[in-house]
Chain A
Amino acid sequence: MRRPLPAWVDISIMPLINIAAAFVVSGIIIALIGENPLTALTIMVKGAFVYKGALGYTLYYTTNFIFTGLAVAVAFHAMLFNIGGEGQAMIGGLGIGFVVLGLDPILPPLLIVLLAIPVAAIFGAIWGIIPGWLQARRGSHIVITTIMFNFIASSIMVWLLAGMLMAPGQMSPETRHFAEGVSLAQIHHIANALGWPMARSPLNLSFGIAIIALVAVWVLIWRTRLGYIIRATGHSEKAVIYAGHDPSRIIIITMAISGGLAGLMALNEILGVQERVILNFTAGYGFTGIAVALMGRNHPFGILLASLLFGALYQGGAELDFEFQTITKEMVLMIQGLIILFSGALALMFVPTAERIYGLFSAQDTAASDQSRSGKDSQNG
């Protein structure tokens, strides 16, 4: 007999089962090419958490995934599938570039950084609002438009970085370096300055902003009136109209918030690490954000865990590539792909089995599940 799973199992045990399944399949493949899967796993874990500076790198990747994962999740609460995190992050980075390159000769660095943070969000938001408006007012499907807007963003970046924004006197498509001090401080610099020795890593203050964003999104979705209406829009636009709100407006606002969060990802890469705008700094993080949100069940806490997992995979995977001759970068990508497959596309594969097992262990009836079944029955009638 199957019983619906309690929420805590759904958000904690099920993802673990899915990841375990992905690792088992990866392990089989690693064994097939003649390596020891357990050794590989050990190196991956050590590479992500144990080696000098490893944790910093992992958290640096995590930062990107938190922003892009949140972007997808917020939109998803309104049932909007925002595939455009990649493009929104690019445009966010472009916004930072405009502010910094335009103002760093005249304003103090701290002021520029404080200005660049909201501008990154605003530029990302604009890149989310346009598809949002097209969906809300013109009915163009958001999946199509956000994908298209990734291409447009990418082309704009090429055009500007290989053109008017390109630093003079060199050949690569990137801007000049920002002025000294126009950056988000890296954590190891801060730690060393405070007298705590810490290994070098690109982890920077934007990680703190990401944590703030996690909390802010939680408050937005579950503790504000806007979040309430966003969720209602996701479930039933008719109910939102009935309640006296305009779903089109909510869709546009939601896409603005979603795009803004994706835009903030550029802080980590542009202000935290590169200190200039380079081409393709988004490196697919926007797309991975979809998997992160799926795996984190669109809940900020789940997104934090999923971001950590993907951060560890990126960092540990790089280590794997480094340690083994036979395990290439593509192999690591494949493992990531398997995890996305099992936790995203196949996320519900083990649910019926789990429900059966759960049913065996809990014969007790609860009022809630009784109501659930009789509710379904009456819907048939």
Chain B
Amino acid sequence: MPFAISMSGICKRFGSVQANDAIDLNIASGDIHGIVGENGAGKSTLVSILYGFYKADSGQIEISGTPYTHNSPADSIAAGIGMVHQHFMLVPNFTVLENIILGHESDRDLTRSIEHARHMLMNLAHQYGLVVDLDAEVGDLPVSLQQRVEILKALYRNAKILILDEPTGVLTPQETEQLFDILRSLKEQGVTILLITHKLREIMAVTDCVSVMRGGRMIAHLNTAETTPEELAELMVGRPVQVQKQWHQTQKGEAIVKVENIHLSNADNQNLLSDISFTVHAGEIVGVAGVAGNGQSELLNILAGITAPSAGAITYHGHRIAAENPANAQTIKALGVAHVPEDRHASGIVLPFSAAENAALGYEDDVSHGYKNMFISPQQLNARCADLMQEFDVRPQHPELTSSLFSGGNQQKLVLAREMSASPSVLLVGQPTRGVDIGAIEFIHQQLINMRDSGCAIILVSVELDEIMSLSDRIMVMNNGQIMGMVNKSDASVKAIGLLMAGVQ
């Protein structure tokens, strides 16, 4: 039986970078095949070539033994390849059914198309156990169901090969399990699945085979049953990696962050946060777990002074900031609170600025001189940035280089360097390792532990449950804008936290 996908000698060059270098990849029909690799390893490029977003410079692709040339995603869909993107491509105010037939209406008459599709989808849903309310508005569905809609969309277009790009980033552990069940049942029905992820645990859990990419090359093809996460991590990075984290018990100090009854409602009077109260002590990391979009981001922004809460109060070191009299980010910073924001590219740095300029964002006073701190000295900017780059191993060490030219990991290290160098007593951290390569993750985690050991109170928001579990002394789980529970590290299990994340108490 021919391979479902056979790619050989795929090369793709962007400018001076060889994004894909002579890639060979064979995927057996009906397999679940994983591709792992760090950011920039070329996974996305490879998948984009397969799906028709890019054209390879050289190399051949065969789909089920037939040589295959394509120019657009439309050609790929016609060839039976479907893709579920990391960020869903759905129209939120359309129903599930409308979303699925979008671009594939069977008839000029919409009513007839919908009826035709409804019939087909009932069968599909039955066949694969993919149950979704076809008449629900997609915007009202939880992300896990939106993802099912994406999968249904691909199947409706007769996909025999399904590509999933980082599908579990937005799911609870239980939802992830459900997704894997769906994938397994698709596999039984003969669908070939290509799974792109950076979570080795998931590779181990669901795939039959795994391919490792590094620096644009295919490093290894392995049978999942014959490998270990440690081996995969080492292949990805190219050197041994410490998978066990550096957490150890410490003595926590006095309570320096007190959050009392924080509420936040939006313009439509919907509650985004209700009745949030907790305390954080010096020398402690409190991890905030939850599926993305359950109020963690809002909470972090309130703590940092970016959003004003509707009610409640926050106390830092005895300075009480009540909702009636909100403080801005600068006032809060002056209380010794540093903030590593979740959306690095929108908030944490200004992409077109030089690294040196970004190393001063929010700390302009430190590099100002002259009449009432009016002027900024480029020499001081550069010198300060060079120091930070040295200390936090930001590469390349060119303070004057535009920030967008640094890799995600190095951008994040620069932000961390800036915030940590202010020697804060409270550190707010959002998604510290999003889009960051494994080598940098190790470093960033070590820095966070070091900060904690030196007596800093750290509030860590992350959608990576592994990260939360390995770094936090206590784990606060949020669902739908509420605290579902506060769990000590010793009592924490993935199952218990997963249930809390799903809103089950």
Contacts and interface: CB of A to CB of B under 8 A. Distances in A.
B351 interface: yes
B333 interface: yes
B362 A244 contact: yes
Q: How large is the interface on A (under 10, 10 to 19, 20 to 34, 35 or more residues)?
A: 35 or more
Given A232-B350, A241-B306, A244-B330, A376 B357 contact: no
A373 B14 contact: yes
A235 B353 contact: yes
B347 A239 contact: yes
A2 B61 CA distance: 26
Interface in B352-370: 352-353, 357, 360-362, 364-365, 368
A235 B350 contact: yes
B84 to A, nearest CB: 15
B452 interface: no
A245 B330 contact: yes
Contacts of A374: 17, 40, 407
A138 interface: no
A227 B306 CA distance: 22
A155 interface: no
Contacts of B375: 219, 223-225
26 contacts: A2-B15, A223-B376, A223-B378, A225-B364, A225-B373, A228-B360, A228-B376, A231-B350, A232-B350, A239-B349, A239-B361, A241-B306, A243-B361, A243-B364, A244-B331, A244-B332, A244-B362, A246-B328, A368-B398, A372-B404, A375-B40, A377-B17, A378-B408, A378-B435, A380-B45, A381-B435
Contact of A372 (B15, B331, B364): B15
Contact of A375 (B343, B398, B407): B407
Contacts of B17: 370, 373-374, 377
A240 to B, nearest CB: 9
A242 B362 contact: yes
Given A224-B376, A231-B353, A371 B16 contact: no
Given A225-B374, A229-B364, A242 B306 contact: yes
Contact of A241 (B48, B329, B368): B329
A236 B19 contact: no
Given A242-B341, A242-B348, A380-B44, 10 more contacts: A224-B376, A229-B364, A243-B361, A244-B333, A244-B362, A371-B406, A374-B40, A374-B407, A377-B14, A381-B40
A219 B306 CA distance: 30
A107 interface: no
Contacts of A177: none
A246 B42 CA distance: 40
B19 A377 contact: yes
B346 interface: yes
A180 interface: no
Interface string A25-46: 0000000000000000000000
A239 B346 contact: yes
A238 interface: yes
B401 interface: yes
B408 A225 contact: no
A192 interface: no
B95 interface: no
A241 B330 CA distance: 9
Interface in A212-270: 219, 222-229, 231-232, 235-236, 238-239, 241-246
Given A241-B306, A381-B44, A1 B364 contact: no
Interface of B: 14-17, 19, 39-40, 42-45, 48, 304-306, 328-333, 339, 341, 343, 346-353, 357, 360-362, 364-365, 368, 373-378, 396, 398, 401, 404-408, 435
A244 B353 contact: no
A119 to B, nearest CB: 24
Contacts of A370: 16-17
A369 interface: yes
Contacts of B306: 241-242
A369 B15 contact: yes
Given A373-B14, A377-B44, A243 B362 contact: yes
A330 interface: no
A377 to B, nearest CB: 5
B406 A238 contact: no
A378 B408 CA distance: 8
A375 B408 CA distance: 7
Q: Which 4 A-B pairs have the closest CB atoms?
A: A244-B330, A244-B329, A243-B362, A381-B44
A224 B370 CA distance: 10
A110 to B, nearest CB: 28
A227 B350 CA distance: 14
Given A223-B375, A232-B353, A373-B16, A381 B43 contact: yes
Contacts of A1: 15-16
A200 interface: no
Contacts of B362: 242-244
B376 A225 contact: yes
B348 A239 contact: yes
Contacts of B352: 235
A371 B44 contact: no
A126 B140 CA distance: 47
B329 A238 contact: no
A3 interface: yes
Contacts of A3: 15-16
A280 B137 CA distance: 57
A381 B406 CA distance: 15
A363 to B, nearest CB: 9
Contacts of A242: 304, 306, 329, 339, 341, 347-348, 361-362
A175 to B, nearest CB: 38
Contacts of B396: 367-368, 371
Nearest to B306: A241
Contacts of A372: 15, 404-405
Nearest to B39: A378
B350 A239 contact: yes
